[in-house]
Amino acid sequence: MGDAGSEQASSWAAPGPRVIPPPPVAPPAPSPAPPAQWTPPLPPAPAQWAPPPPPPRVPPKGFPWWAWLLVAGGGLALIGLIIWLAAMVSGAVSAVAGPLGSAFQDGFEEGYYGGPSDPLETGAPGAQFAAEPVVCPGVCLTNTGAHFAALTVATTGRFGMSEQSMTDGDVPAFTSETAFNDALASWSGNNRQCVFVNTWVPVFVSYDGALSERATVDLLGQWSDADALSTVTVGTAVFPDSAAAEAHIGRTADAIAGCDFYQVGDPEGGQVDVEVNPAPAVANLHPTIAAVGWIESGPYDRYYVTELQRGEIVVRVTVQTYGGLTQPDAQLLTGMVANRFAEEPLLHG
């Protein structure tokens, strides 16, 4: 997202004539000092009384033997009380912090809230062709804007995501070529077959060295919780016609079938293993929409990604979570976007 530049006006003024200062004025002559006057000597001070010197410091006498017994007994009793209190506090803290600490450690290793430790739901993947496809030689839908998102803070807030970190227009629309190059440049995975996952928008990315499709892409919005532990992002691509959009969905479906695992990160500093699985078909999908998707499961988080195609437009819904959202939550959010997408009127309808 670029920042608008600002211009600063500058002006130049010719300097004024150089002014020569007058010569310095000599300081006045000092006044003559007054004549010294004679002062009579002071009489000797009378002798004064001084107090006698203090007596020598005598060291204090020692405590009697019974006093030492009392001090020792009190000290032992105080030490015992401190040890007893420490044991009680330690036991209470262990009773509370033990389960919490164990849960936090498990959550850190397996994902916050247990995220990726939850078993994935399996099922038949979505079909890359709609049951009743919208076919037209050019523009099919009357709207290509943010209506496809169909998500508001009021809606996402029910899933704990009450903040909208990006709205339509925050990022100007860009080309599929830009998204393609950015995805290739930032990919750090070891499996080139999986590079298509490395973007928020529906642009097919591969390492064959050529951009296989042209589209105008846009980010419509992103919603998250306060700590960004769960987010949902909606991006779109407007293709020249419905045939080009269908071809994109076909490439994505083939890429999902060819990517099941990748490692990302620095081989020396530590790599993260990510498992990739086809996502089950979206339930109750409108017959004019085709949908394919995948799930990326790492040690700390998951990505639930679905692409929806209708006419010349493809919408990508990406739900990322460290465990605060479940797979049914991601499916419900995707279904909300799909339902709104299906309501967009057709130009010839």
Supply the CATH number for residue 174's domain.
3.40.1000.70
Res 307: pLDDT: 96
Question: How far apart (Å, rounded) are the C-alpha atoms in residues 250 and 245?
Answer: 9
Q: What percentage of the chain exceeds 70 in pLDDT?
A: 63
pLDDT above 70 (res 66): no
Please give the pLDDT value at position 3.
42
Q: pLDDT, tens digit, for every residue of 272-302?
A: 899 999 999 999 999 999 999 999 998 889 9
Question: How wide is the angle at C-alpha 254 spanned by C-alphas 263 and 235, nearest 5°?
Answer: 75
23: in domain: no
Gap between the Cα atoms of 309 and 341, Å rounded: 9
Residues 96 and 170 in one domain: no
Q: Same domain for 153 and 125?
A: yes
Q: What is the pTM of this model?
A: 0.66
Compare 39 and 310 and report the one with higher pLDDT. 310
Task: Give the 3-state secondary structure of residue 274.
Answer: strand
In a shared domain, residues 97 and 148: no
Higher pLDDT, 305 or 150: 305
- Residue-wise pLDDT for 21-53, tens only, equals 444 444 555 555 554 454 545 444 444 433 333
- Asked if the structure places residue 159 within a domain, the reply is yes
Together in a domain, 187 and 135 = yes
Joined tokens for residue 59: 């060291």
What does the DSSP 8-state code read for residue 145? S
Name which of 203-207, 225-229, 234-238, 299-303 the model is least confident about: 203-207
Mean pLDDT value of segment 112-139: 79
Residue 235: is its pLDDT beyond 70?
yes
Q: Measured between alpha carbons, how far is 237 from 246 in angstroms, rounded to an integer? A: 12
Please give the structure tokens belonging to residue 340: 């709104």
Domain with 136 in it? 117-342
Per-residue pLDDT reduced to its tens digit, 163-174: 988 776 677 677
Q: How many domains does the chain have?
A: 2
Examine the pLDDT at 198 and tell me if it is beyond 80.
yes
Q: Are residues 299 and 176 in the same domain?
A: yes
